[in-house]
């Protein structure tokens, strides 16, 4: 009875196992005999292999394998392995009844009786096609991403371990930084930084910020393998796992050297434009002031000159007063010429200059201007070629430099002025050739690097409010460049400053024949007496010009405007000459001259102007008279104009 109970229990366990196997549909669970013949078949096997039990039981399990695997003997080796090792496990392609393939996970276990004899195999198969597809898609995506990263050459894209060592390296990183993968992987990324940045701990700071904030971005200098530096835009992103643990960093670097150069060039261009706009504004202001000042000087200088001609010959004291006033007016005239040159309203008049002679000639002026606390030393070589420059402008430049040097020595000191010849072969600011360089050196406080860089900027001054215009050095700089040379500054805090003006050597060393205007009484050659129309909108200048002309013996018709001048010309007969101011409201002097040329082409016209250079294309064919002028200047230009007119008329008659 006990044996029957145990038998029923065994039958009950077998039934339960069979029910379990038959209930499984996600796994193919079936038996093979020792030869590999299918001997059982569960619903899971039927569902994803497609065979009914009657169609497959009794057939060899190799039907599930691909032709390639069958040809290679894979089914037989699977059974041999299971029998020998107690288990066979693998993944691979299998074939359904309809011929379609699926990716299967297979386990084969040997079944033995109590004596250990092999009686068959238990085979479990799972359809992993979807997982396989997902894995293949993931692998393909990873491969594509790797190809993408490796294919990028404009960006260095690589991974860092949490400690900052390089874990991967793309082609862009190799191109930009110069390292091959085997040269850099495993080494710390801090070697891309400059020694200064490493000293301040910038690499570790970058990783700390990225780890704390998730991202770090900055621009700065980085170092290539060959030691050269480049500007880089750097982005570091922290990489974390699902639990927030730090896995490392993704680092992207872009070489922005060219962009930085472009930005710097743009900034320089903007600075140059701003400076040009400042200079233009100063030029307009200075030109306008100089024009009005010229008119005032014209009235003062002309009246003084006429007065001197009329004083008694034996009144020496009154003559001395007038000479002194005339010299003051002449200095004012020289100042306006310098202002106009600075404003680019007057062409420089370069001439060969002996610099030692020029500087020795202005030593008294320098000493008077600088004061007793400043000692002036001069040193020149035995032989020095002449420099080609405008005398007045160069004198003004040297005086400006000396005044700046004095201001840099509040307790007094020494200013050394010297010159030497320089041959230039390669200098971006100078054409190749020979130059004479004038240097002004002081023993003052000197300038730091930031001040030195800005010293030539218009309006920049360190003298405080109301103590400097900030135009002195910029005027010298402009004069030097306009003369074909340059101004350079060398300075060290506490060790003084050296300013050096380099001027081209004169090609022809002609003798310096320039002389200051004379205030002595001169007999003017007036020629025949003329009927002259004088045009000027300034009453003071108009009165003065008319007085000079009448003193020369001419008949004068004064006009306060171009329109009035045209009326006079249309009503008065036998007008011999017209002298007109250039800057007048309504119609300029050159426009008036053009209008007269249309009506009376034979009438000579002289344009008087405080600007030696008229607007381009205006009045170029008419003789000019620079304001302020002396009576001699007026007489000479009238004589030259009338002589030229007579010659032109004679040529026309011969034709």
Q: What CATH number is attached to the domain comprising 535?
A: 3.40.50.2300
Cis peptide before 21 (omega within 30 of 0): no
pLDDT tens figures, 503-519: 999 985 434 444 444 43
Mapping DSSP onto H, E and C, the string for 467-505 reads: CCCCCHHHHHHHHHHHCCCEEEEEECCCCCEEEEEEEEE
Angle between helices 539-551 and 257-310 (to 10 degrees): 50
Tell me, yes or no, whether 623 and 584 share the same domain: yes
Residue 267 has pLDDT above 60, yes or no: yes
SS3 state of residue 258: helix
User: Where does residue 147 rank: exposed (0-12), middle (13-18), buried (19+ CB within 10 A)?
Assistant: exposed
Question: Is 510 inside any structural domain?
Answer: no
Question: Is 538 inside any structural domain?
Answer: yes
Question: Is 312 inside any structural domain?
Answer: no
Cβ–Cβ under 8 Å, residues 578 and 565 = yes
Lowest mean pLDDT among 3-7, 70-74, 397-401, 561-565: 3-7
Tell me, yes or no, whether 575 and 477 share the same domain: no
Last residue of a domain, one of 189, 222, 255: 255
Looking at residue 521, its pLDDT comes to 36
Tell me, yes or no, whether 449 and 566 share the same domain: no
Looking at residue 337, its pLDDT comes to 61
Sort strands 246-255 and 215-223 into parallel, antiparallel or unpaired.
unpaired
CA distance 422 to 435: 5
Tell me, yes or no, whether 250 and 160 share the same domain: yes
Ordered DSSP codes for 319-373: HHHHHHHHHHHHHHHHHHHHHHHHTT-S---EEEE-HHHHHHHTHHHHHHHH-TT
Tell me, yes or no, whether 387 and 480 share the same domain: yes
Top-ranked range on mean pLDDT: pick from 23-27, 239-243, 273-277, 400-404:
239-243
Question: Is 360 inside any structural domain?
Answer: yes
CATH code of the domain in which 416 resides: 3.30.565.10
Looking at residue 362, its pLDDT comes to 86
Question: Is 142 inside any structural domain?
Answer: no
In the numeric block, which tokens belong to residue 381? 């070589």
Tell me, yes or no, whether 123 and 42 share the same domain: yes
Looking at residue 619, its pLDDT comes to 55
Element spanning 32, H or E: strand 27-33
Contacts of 555 (CB under 8 A, 6+ apart): 529, 530, 531, 532
pTM (two decimals): 0.43
Q: Please name which of 162, 172, 189, 142 lies closest in space to residue 249, comparing C-alpha atoms.
A: 162
Tell me, yes or no, whether 581 and 612 share the same domain: yes
Residue 467 banded pLDDT, cuts 50, 70, 90 = very low
Q: What is the mean pLDDT of the chain?
A: 82
Top-ranked range on mean pLDDT: pick from 209-223, 298-312, 346-360:
209-223
Tell me, yes or no, whether 466 and 541 share the same domain: no
**Residue spans of beta strands (DSSP E) within 496-540:** 497-504, 531-535
CATH code of the domain in which 207 resides: 3.30.450.20
Residue 125 has pLDDT above 60, yes or no: yes
SS3 state of residue 284: helix
Last residue of a domain, one of 504, 522, 552: 504
Question: Is 540 inside any structural domain?
Answer: yes
Looking at residue 382, its pLDDT comes to 87
Cβ–Cβ under 8 Å, residues 156 and 252 = yes
Q: Based on the structure, what is the number of domains in the chain?
A: 4
Tell me, yes or no, whether 61 and 96 share the same domain: yes
Ordered DSSP codes for 576-632: -EEEEESS-SSS-HHHHHHHHHHH-TTS-EEEEES-SSPSTTSSTTS-EEESS--HH
Residue 533 has pLDDT above 90, yes or no: yes
pLDDT tens figures, 170-194: 888 899 999 999 999 999 999 999 9
Range of the domain at 488: 355-504
Question: Is 273 inside any structural domain?
Answer: no
Tell me, yes or no, whether 126 and 157 share the same domain: no
Residue 614 banded pLDDT, cuts 50, 70, 90 = low
pLDDT tens figures, 86-116: 999 999 999 999 999 999 999 999 999 888 8
Tell me, yes or no, whether 435 and 537 share the same domain: no
Question: Is 141 inside any structural domain?
Answer: no
Tell me, yes or no, whether 120 and 219 share the same domain: no
């Amino acid at each position: 009875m006990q044996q029957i109970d145990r038998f029923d229990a065994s039958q009950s366990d077998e039934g339960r196992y069979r029910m379990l196997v038959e209930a499984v549909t996600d796994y193919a669970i079936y038996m093979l005999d020792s030869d590999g013949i299918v001997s059982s078949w569960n619903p899971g096997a039927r569902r994803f292999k497609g065979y009914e039990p009657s169609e497959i039981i009794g057939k060899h399990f190799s039907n599930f394998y691909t032709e390639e695997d069958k040809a290679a003997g894979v089914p037989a080796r699977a059974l041999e392995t299971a029998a020998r090792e107690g288990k066979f496990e693998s993944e691979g392609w299998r074939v359904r009844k309809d011929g379609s393939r699926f990716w299967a996970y297979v386990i084969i276990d040997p079944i033995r009786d109590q004596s250990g004899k092999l009686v068959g195999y238990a085979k479990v198969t799972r359809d992993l096609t979807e997982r396989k597809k997902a894995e293949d898609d993931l692998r393909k995506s990873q491969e594509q991403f790797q190809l993408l990263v490796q294919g990028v050459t404009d960006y260095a894209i690589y991974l860092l371990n949490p400690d900052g060592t390089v874990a991967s390296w793309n082609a862009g990183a190799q191109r930009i930084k110069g390292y091959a993968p085997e040269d850099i992987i495993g080494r710390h990324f801090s070697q891309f930084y400059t020694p200064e940045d490493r000293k301040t701990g910038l690499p570790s700071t970058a990783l700390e910020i990225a780890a704390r904030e998730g991202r770090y971005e900055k621009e700065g200098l980085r170092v290539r393998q060959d030691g050269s530096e480049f500007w880089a835009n750097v982005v570091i992103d922290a990489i974390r796992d699902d639990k927030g643990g730090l896995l490392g960093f993704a680092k992207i670097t872009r070489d922005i050297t060219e962009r930085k150069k472009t930005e710097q060039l743009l900034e320089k261009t903007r600075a140059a434009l701003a400076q040009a706009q400042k200079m233009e504004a100063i030029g307009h202001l200075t030109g306008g002031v100089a024009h009005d000042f010229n008119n005032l000087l014209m009235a003062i200088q002309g009246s003084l000159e006429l007065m001197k001609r009329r004083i008694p010959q034996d009144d020496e004291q009154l003559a001395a007063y007038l000479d002194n006033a005339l010299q003051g007016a002449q200095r004012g005239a020289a100042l306006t010429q310098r202002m106009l040159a600075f404003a680019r309203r007057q062409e420089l008049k370069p001439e060969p200059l002996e610099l030692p002679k020029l500087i020795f000639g202005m030593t008294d002026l320098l000493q008077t201007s600088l004061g007793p606390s400043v000692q002036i030393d001069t040193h020149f070589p035995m032989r020095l070629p002449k420099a080609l420059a405008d005398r007045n402008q160069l004198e003004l430049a040297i005086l400006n430099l000396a005044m700046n040097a004095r201001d840099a020595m509040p307790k007094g000191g020494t200013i050394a002025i010297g010159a030497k010849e320089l041959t230039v072969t390669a200098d971006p600011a100078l054409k190749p050739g020979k130059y004479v360089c004038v240097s002004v050196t002081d023993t003052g406080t000197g300038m730091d690097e930031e001040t030195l860089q800005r010293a030539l900027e218009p309006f920049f001054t360190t003298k405080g409010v109301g103590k400097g215009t900030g135009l002195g050095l910029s005027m010298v700089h402009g004069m030097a460049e306009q003369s074909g040379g340059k101004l350079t500054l060398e300075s060290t805090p506490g060790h003084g400053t050296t300013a050096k003006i380099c001027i081209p050597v004169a090609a022809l060393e002609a003798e310096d024949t320039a002389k200051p205007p004379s205030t002595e009484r001169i007999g003017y050659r007036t020629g025949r007496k003329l009927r002259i129309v004088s045009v000027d909108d300034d009453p003071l200048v108009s009165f003065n010009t008319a007085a000079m002309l009448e003193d020369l013996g001419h008949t004068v018709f004064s006009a306060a405007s171009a329109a009035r001048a045209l009326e006079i010309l249309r009503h008065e007969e036998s007008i011999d000459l017209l002298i007109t101011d250039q800057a007048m409201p309504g119609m300029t002097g050159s426009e008036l001259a053009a209008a007269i040329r249309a009506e009376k082409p034979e009438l000579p016209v002289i344009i008087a102007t405080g600007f030696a250079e008229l607007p381009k294309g205006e009045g170029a064919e008419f003789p000019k008279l620079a304001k302020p002028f002396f009576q001699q200047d007026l007489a000479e230009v009238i004589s030259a104009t009338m002589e030229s007119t007579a010659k032109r008329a004679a040529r026309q008659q011969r034709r």
